[in-house]
Amino acid sequence: MNSKTRNPQTKADQVCEKSSEDKIVTRRNFIKGTALAGAGAAAILKNESSNAQETKSPDIKIPEEIPRTLSEAAKPANFPMTGAEVFAKFMKDEGVAGFFCCPGNYNMINAIAAEGIPSYGGRCEGNMTSAADGFSRVTGEIAATSGTEGPGFTNMIMNIGAANSSRTPLLVIASNKTIGEDDTEHGIQTAYQQAQTEGLKKWGKRLITPNRIYEYAAYAFRQLKTGVPKPVHLDFPGEISRARFEEPGELQYYYDKTRYRTESKAHPNPADITLAVDMIQRADRPMIVASTGVFYDKAWDALLRVAEKNDIAVTESAPMRGHFSDSHALSASTGLDAVRSADLVILIGQYCMPSIGEFAFGPDAKWIRIDPDATDIGRNVPIDLGIVSSEKAALEALEDALPSRDRPDWRNELAAARKAFDDQSQEYYSLGLKYSADTDSIHPAVIGKHLHDFLYEGDIAPDQTTVVSGGYGIGRYTRRYLRAHRPGQICNGAYQYGAIGPDVGYTVGVGAAVQNGVGPQAPYKGAPIVGITGDAGAAYSIMEFETLGKYRIPAIMIVYNNNAWGVWTSGASRGAVRAQHMYLFQENLRYEKIAEALGCNGEYVTSPDQMTPALERAYKIASDEGISTLINCQGKKEFWTNQYPPSMPRHFAPGALAYYK
Amino acid sequence: MKSSIQFKVAAFLTLFLIHLPTLAQEDMPTEPSATVYSKSAAIRGKSFYLINCQQCHDADGRALANIDFIAADLTAPDTWYYGATPLHIFRSIKFGAGLEMPPFKDSLDDETIWQIVAHVLNIGPVELRPKEE
């Protein structure tokens, strides 16, 4: 697999290399020079011996063990079983649909793979945690992640935090030395785990009694499958995972899942539904905010029926999008002016609750909140009516109780708002073309528009491609051009935790979900997916291109490369001195070559005319060979300043532009 | 009452003269609108502030929660870099300031901007707050 034969150099590529040759400096000279000259020196680095080494290097290849062991038949465990096998079997019975890990916790991860749960091994536990998070966000199913004790587990913390803010039903399992060695610091990697996930989980437990492993598995899945989900964290000392059980009687509370938890869900009080119907009927411009709970309760069909029956507008706010199609006449996800105009807001399954001002609704709007958790209703935003219910049950009750009604004025206002949004997007694109030409680079609005046209206006069915909508500054533009037409079509990368870095991890998990056709991804099984991130974010997880390559997960990852952290202006304004260097990277870094070096494909885009051809080549190689591509889009950090309005557009929530919440 | 406030504003301006950028700008007024001295205008300005400004400066103007960049603490004009008089505040809102503060000239009319100026003054030092009904 020689990437050079697949990916001939672009003209810009050649120009760049020629320029490099003209100005080669050695690393030693560079360091010496900067030491003498101080900050502000610019230099182009090149490893002078790299070409000679490349000609002798063997091809990157997938070892035969990988496809061979992936195709082995599952071998479900039966008594006698180890603790690890008991837990893995439990996970299989509960329908865990994806497992993402790095080695460590060996007994557990081997048992999970043997049960036949689709399992993936990556390059960093944190990224694998995000892979599991992304998998859940586009399938609605529980995914699990594992890391080894100590360092492997602590690598997962940021990504657990992101999953917690997204209210993801994520099962975190980690090995943890032995109970017998507690507090001795014997050996290596010992650490108390549960305290480290405090505030980042729904529930957690360090297992210390071997014959209670089945009982605690039930605790875990009760938490994961009822109410408002969040990560559940179990840590497994060696005495637990390696315990042996000869027969079921040795395990406490060994009941079938129909007996250790219930599928029953809260239904709304009829009196509350009557009040809600009255408020909806009195409203002229009612709007539903369809959020996380609508997706996890698989309530999108009921949502559609309610919206259409009474002409209620719907906008989305969630770590995933598509449970109400952007193309529907009642959609307000791209109708921002209509959000400001709504006189009744109905929050359904808004698990990560905004505080006042985070949503752009007007100060006079009335609020209804429907949520399974009574303890959260009324937090942050004062309500006019609270309804404790599962999302689906409440929507079905509303469907029954609401009269049919046409609201032509409201529909017209929604259409006008969407048109205004599209007109503004076109205006930004025109500006982006001008800025790109002025700077010999590619502006983020151009990336977004070309991606939009490629995914939704060309030969690809608009509902086909699942997208990880990540990045920081770039996301402020690409969200404007992305569309969601069906459940789970967009995984909103950052969401409320605002983490910079998990996007390639999300892409692994989302790609695995589509590769296996899980849940709403079933009709699109095997289709290439798209991910978007920035150069700052890519650095945290770019090694997972090796994971994409190893499993032939077909992904196209757009990396917006503006040579800086997205917040770089903070080091350049308001009297900052000696600070700017902390915010900047070397310029024109070639992230696509990292992807090539990891067995994937690379494209370097430096002008608008190169964008669509790069997407076409990337899509073809993903479709034909399952090979992922990193498209390195060279921008300018100055696009985030007032020199290039609208610079970094402010986020707007709820809807397509929501960066948080 | 108005002249007293104007005197205090002038005194404040003197203190920070060294930081003040030029006000020269096309379509820039030469005198502040009387709106900035009106308490009712400040109340109206708060609504526009919450819609347009709080994402960066927070609802209370202190900008403590902004993770995107260092925004000005609007309650502490002695820390500002682009001028603290009503005219300077108007200019920053209408035409932008520094690298990050975006211009609002295409989305807000002058009267609305003056009302926001009144609100900004109203959350600052007591002596600068609008006093007229």
Question: What CATH code is carried by the domain that includes residue A494?
Answer: 3.40.50.970
- Taking the CA of residue A243 and the nearest CA in chain B, the distance in Å comes to 48
pLDDT digits (tens, 9 = 90+) for A235-267: 999 999 999 999 999 999 999 999 999 999 999
Q: What was the pLDDT predicted at A192?
A: 87
Nearest Cβ partner of A642 from B54, B68, B103?
A: B103
Residues 457-476 of A with CB under 8 A from B: none
Q: Which residue of B has its CA nearest to A362?
A: B51
Asked if B130 and B121 touch (Cβ cutoff 8 Å), the reply is yes
Q: Strand, coil or helix: what is B72?
A: coil
DSSP notation for A138-158:
HH-S-EEEEE-TTHHHHTTHH
Q: What was the pLDDT predicted at A528?
A: 98
Residues A359 and A342 grouped into a single domain: yes
As given in the structure block, the two tokens for residue A5 are 């034969």
Q: Which residue of A has its CA nearest to B46?
A: A363
Residues 395-424 of A with CB under 8 A from B: none
Residues A300 and A349 grouped into a single domain: yes
Indicate the DSSP class of residue B100. Answer: T
Nearest Cβ partner of A645 from B47, B59, B103?
A: B103
The CA R_g of chain B, rounded to the nearest whole Å, is 14
Cβ-Cβ contacts under 8 Å, A357 against chain B: 50, 54, 59
Question: Which among A386, A411, A436 is the end of a domain?
Answer: A411
Q: Do B99 and A575 touch (CB under 8 A)?
A: no
Position A54 confidence tier, pLDDT thresholds 50, 70, 90: low
Average pLDDT, chain A: 91
How many CB pairs lie under 8 A apart between chains A and B? Answer: 53
Residues A564 and A594 grouped into a single domain: yes
Residues A113 and A253 grouped into a single domain: yes
Q: Is residue A97 part of a domain?
A: yes
Q: Do A642 and B96 touch (CB under 8 A)?
A: yes
pLDDT digits (tens, 9 = 90+) for B24-72: 778 899 999 999 999 999 999 999 998 889 888 998 999 998 888 889 9
- Residues whose CB is less than 8 angstroms from the CB of residue A192 and which lie 6 or more positions away in sequence, other chains included: A206
Q: Do A357 and B68 touch (CB under 8 A)?
A: no
Q: Is residue A6 part of a domain?
A: no
As given in the structure block, the two tokens for residue A213 are 């492993």
Q: Is residue A328 part of a domain?
A: yes
Residues A43 and A88 grouped into a single domain: no
Q: Do B99 and A642 touch (CB under 8 A)?
A: yes
pLDDT digits (tens, 9 = 90+) for A11-44: 334 333 434 444 333 333 433 333 334 333 344 4
Position A563 confidence tier, pLDDT thresholds 50, 70, 90: very high
Question: Which among A200, A228, A260 is the end of a domain?
Answer: A260
Helix (H) and strand (E) counts in chain A: 26, 22
Q: Which residue of A has its CA nearest to B54?
A: A357
Position A575 confidence tier, pLDDT thresholds 50, 70, 90: confident
Amino acid sitting at position A282:
R
**Is the pLDDT score of A174 beyond 50?**
yes
Q: Strand, coil or helix: what is A487?
A: coil
Residues A407 and A425 grouped into a single domain: no
Indicate the DSSP class of residue A564. Answer: B
Query: Which of the two residues, B9 and A353, has the higher pLDDT score?
Result: A353
**Is the pLDDT score of A411 beyond 60?**
yes
pLDDT digits (tens, 9 = 90+) for A520-555: 999 999 999 999 999 999 999 999 999 999 999 999
Cβ-Cβ contacts under 8 Å, B68 against chain A: 566-567, 648
Residues A57 and A106 grouped into a single domain: no
Q: Do A573 and B100 touch (CB under 8 A)?
A: yes
Q: What was the pLDDT predicted at B69?
A: 83
Rounded Cα distance, A109 and A115, in Å: 10
The answer to whether A573 faces chain B, any CB pair under 8 Å, is yes
Q: Which residue of B has its CA nearest to A472?
A: B68
Best residue in B100, B101, B105, B107 for a mutation probing chain A (most A CBs within 10 Å): B100
Residue with tokens 């399974």: A372
Position B17 confidence tier, pLDDT thresholds 50, 70, 90: very low
Q: Which residue of B has its CA nearest to A357?
A: B50
pLDDT digits (tens, 9 = 90+) for B95-113: 999 888 999 998 899 999 9
Position A49 confidence tier, pLDDT thresholds 50, 70, 90: very low
Q: Do A574 and B81 touch (CB under 8 A)?
A: yes
Domain count, chain A: 4
Residues A219 and A232 grouped into a single domain: yes
- Taking the CA of residue A363 and the nearest CA in chain B, the distance in Å comes to 8
Q: Do B102 and A642 touch (CB under 8 A)?
A: yes
Q: Do B51 and A360 touch (CB under 8 A)?
A: yes
Cβ-Cβ contacts under 8 Å, A642 against chain B: 96, 98-103
Q: Which residue of B has its CA nearest to A361?
A: B51
Q: Is residue A265 part of a domain?
A: no
Mean pLDDT over A580-595 rounds to: 98
* φ/ψ of residue A294, rounded to 5: -65, -40
Q: What was the pLDDT predicted at B26?
A: 80
The answer to whether A427 faces chain B, any CB pair under 8 Å, is no
- Residues whose CB is less than 8 angstroms from the CB of residue A313 and which lie 6 or more positions away in sequence, other chains included: A285, A286, A287, A288, A307, A330, A331, A332, A335, A338, A342, A410, A414
Best residue in B68, B80, B104 for a mutation probing chain A (most A CBs within 10 Å): B68
Rounded Cα distance, A623 and A617, in Å: 10
Query: How far is the CA of A15 from the CAs of A7, A12, A617, in angstroms?
Result: 16, 5, 21
- In angstroms, the first-to-last Cα distance of chain B is 11
Mean pLDDT lowest for which of A34-38, A51-55, B87-91? A34-38
Q: What is the CATH number of the domain that holds A307?
A: 3.40.50.1220
Nearest Cβ partner of A498 from B67, B70, B102?
A: B67
Q: What was the pLDDT predicted at B96?
A: 92
**Is the pLDDT score of A108 beyond 50?**
yes
Q: Is residue A161 part of a domain?
A: yes
Residue with tokens 């909140």: A369
Q: Do B50 and A357 touch (CB under 8 A)?
A: yes
Q: Do B99 and A573 touch (CB under 8 A)?
A: yes
Cβ-Cβ contacts under 8 Å, B98 against chain A: 569, 573-574, 642
Position A51 confidence tier, pLDDT thresholds 50, 70, 90: low
Q: Count CA within 13 A, CB hemisphere, residue A165.
A: 19
Q: Is residue A153 part of a domain?
A: yes
- Taking the CA of residue A261 and the nearest CA in chain B, the distance in Å comes to 41
- Taking the CA of residue B1 and the nearest CA in chain A, the distance in Å comes to 33
Residue with tokens 């957690």: A204
Share of chain A above pLDDT 90, in %: 84
Share of chain B above pLDDT 90, in %: 62
- Taking the CA of residue A612 and the nearest CA in chain B, the distance in Å comes to 31
Q: Is residue A4 part of a domain?
A: no
Q: What was the pLDDT predicted at A325?
A: 98
Most confident of A117-126, A490-499, A641-650: A117-126
Residues A37 and A173 grouped into a single domain: no
Mean pLDDT over A225-229 rounds to: 96
Mean pLDDT over A459-469 rounds to: 98
- Taking the CA of residue B41 and the nearest CA in chain A, the distance in Å comes to 17
Q: What is the pTM of this model?
A: 0.89
Which domain covers residue A533, as residue numbers? Answer: 416-640
Rounded Cα distance, B27 and B91, in Å: 10
Asked if A518 and A142 touch (Cβ cutoff 8 Å), the reply is no
Q: Do A573 and B102 touch (CB under 8 A)?
A: no
Q: Do A573 and B98 touch (CB under 8 A)?
A: yes
Residues A60 and A94 grouped into a single domain: no
Rounded Cα distance, A538 and A594, in Å: 11
Rounded Cα distance, A605 and A599, in Å: 20
Q: Do B102 and A646 touch (CB under 8 A)?
A: yes
Cβ-Cβ contacts under 8 Å, A645 against chain B: 102-103
Position B8 confidence tier, pLDDT thresholds 50, 70, 90: low
Best residue in B49, B70, B94, B101 for a mutation probing chain A (most A CBs within 10 Å): B70
Indicate the DSSP class of residue A65. Answer: H
Cβ-Cβ contacts under 8 Å, A495 against chain B: none
pLDDT digits (tens, 9 = 90+) for A259-298: 999 999 999 999 999 999 999 999 999 999 999 999 999 9
Query: How far is the CA of A503 from the CAs of A133, A222, A470, A587, A600, in angstroms?
Result: 11, 29, 6, 22, 17
The answer to whether A18 faces chain B, any CB pair under 8 Å, is no
Cβ-Cβ contacts under 8 Å, A475 against chain B: none
Rounded Cα distance, A547 and A123, in Å: 7
Asked if A370 and A279 touch (Cβ cutoff 8 Å), the reply is no
Q: Which residue of B has its CA nearest to A570?
A: B69
Q: Which residues pair with A345 in a beta bridge?
A: A287, A367
Residues A123 and A218 grouped into a single domain: yes
Q: Do A569 and B72 touch (CB under 8 A)?
A: no
Q: Is residue A317 part of a domain?
A: yes
Residues A591 and A456 grouped into a single domain: yes
Question: Which among A232, A260, A288 is the end of a domain?
Answer: A260
Cβ-Cβ contacts under 8 Å, B100 against chain A: 569, 573, 640-642, 647-648
Q: Which residue of B has its CA nearest to A473?
A: B68
Cβ-Cβ contacts under 8 Å, A647 against chain B: 100, 102
Position B3 confidence tier, pLDDT thresholds 50, 70, 90: low
Amino acid sitting at position A657:
L
Cβ-Cβ contacts under 8 Å, A570 against chain B: 69-70
pLDDT digits (tens, 9 = 90+) for A340-375: 999 999 999 999 999 877 899 988 999 999 999 999
Mean pLDDT over A83-100 rounds to: 98
* φ/ψ of residue A629, rounded to 5: -130, 140
Cβ-Cβ contacts under 8 Å, A650 against chain B: 55-56, 102
